[in-house]
Amino acid sequence: MAVNDIITAARYNNAQGRVASVLGNGSGTQGYGQNVSSLQVNSNLRVTATDINNLYNDLKAIRVHQTGGVPNSIATVDIGDTIGDTASDGDPLKGFADYESFISLVESDAERFKLASTQSTDDIDVKVAQRRNQWTAPIKCEFQVTFNDADHRRHFFNSGGSITIVSSISNPPVSGDSVAKTQDWQAILSNSGTVNFNYKETTTSGTGVTQSIGNYQLTSAYQEIFAKSATGVYGNNNYYIRAKAESSKSIKFEVEFYDYNPGGYKIDEPVQGLLESKIGYIRASGLYVNVATPAFSITNSL
């Protein structure tokens, strides 16, 4: 466009549609599921200051959600301003090309899934599976996370939400044959940290083998998303987390404590203490983007 050309309705509508796909319902990996202020304009009408400012408010909502900060490369326009390409009435922050560049930023994969800490809520122990009895063989528990519908599930992960799992052993024995083995399991679980399952991958605050499997990589069969192994004499012991899509609105997580005895030892010491596996979440809960918490349940306890 030439300097001072008036923005066409078609150009505005293209930009508005892109913004609505991020902030509104969207589809696939786009969509936070929030109300959108801006609307498409009639091709026979002029794009007004109100139209631009509604678009600004939507972009502000997206960017505050992503970073916690208000946009500083675009600005609202005043009634009577001529909305131009690179500037509006001499203000370079009001040029529509700046709006389009900003939209390209917030809709990019690198930015779209961000969730500012000031715009989020977390709870690491929504459900806690426990075992107080000693154990020697592999044991496991299973959690289910249920969303209102498939769109709710999309919006949760698209807006930066994630599911967290953390396991631990407390009250270990202080004497007897089980001390060393229990301490080894404590180390496995402590070093694993908090495992975080998001839209495209699994990460951990500790150490272990994570996979590039998140919400959008799930299948109807369990896939391993995290593993942590012991070392030394207890090197056959492993901590596994697996996930699968139970349905379009439900995800299941299986947590296994694989205490394996290959044979050849005089005794197979039991693991003692309070074993806990906790599931929780991080979700968008800011002023502009707020996605409801899914329901959690334990479908198979320890």
Q: Do 68 and 147 fall within a single domain?
A: no
Give residue-wise pLDDT tens across range 267-289: 778 999 999 999 999 999 999 99
Number of domains in the chain: 2
Give residue-wise pLDDT tens across range 225-270: 999 998 877 778 999 999 999 999 999 999 999 987 665 556 778 9
| C-alpha–C-alpha distance, residues 142 and 242, integer Å | 9
Q: Is 4 a residue whose pLDDT tops 50?
A: no
Backbone angles phi, psi at 216, to 5 degrees: -85, 0
Q: Do 51 and 73 fall within a single domain?
A: yes
* Any domain includes 255: yes
* Any domain includes 179: yes
Mean pLDDT of the chain: 91
Give residue-wise pLDDT tens across range 138-191: 999 999 999 999 999 999 999 999 999 999 999 999 998 899 899 999 999 999
Residue 1: the pLDDT is 36
* Any domain includes 170: yes
Q: Do 85 and 179 fall within a single domain?
A: no
137: confidence class by pLDDT, cuts 50, 70, 90: confident
Backbone angles phi, psi at 146, to 5 degrees: -120, 125
Q: Tell which of 68, 87, 112 closes a domain.
A: 112
Residue 154 to residues 189, 210, 211, 295, Cα–Cα distance (Å): 30, 22, 20, 15
| C-alpha–C-alpha distance, residues 13 and 223, integer Å | 42
* Any domain includes 209: yes
Q: For helices 9-23 and 96-106, give the axis angle rounded to 10 degrees.
A: 30
Q: Do 279 and 194 fall within a single domain?
A: yes
* Any domain includes 1: no
Q: Do 269 and 143 fall within a single domain?
A: yes
Domain range for 52 is 9-112
Mean per-residue pLDDT, 188-205 = 98
Residue 210 to residues 108, 251, 259, Cα–Cα distance (Å): 24, 18, 20
* Any domain includes 4: no
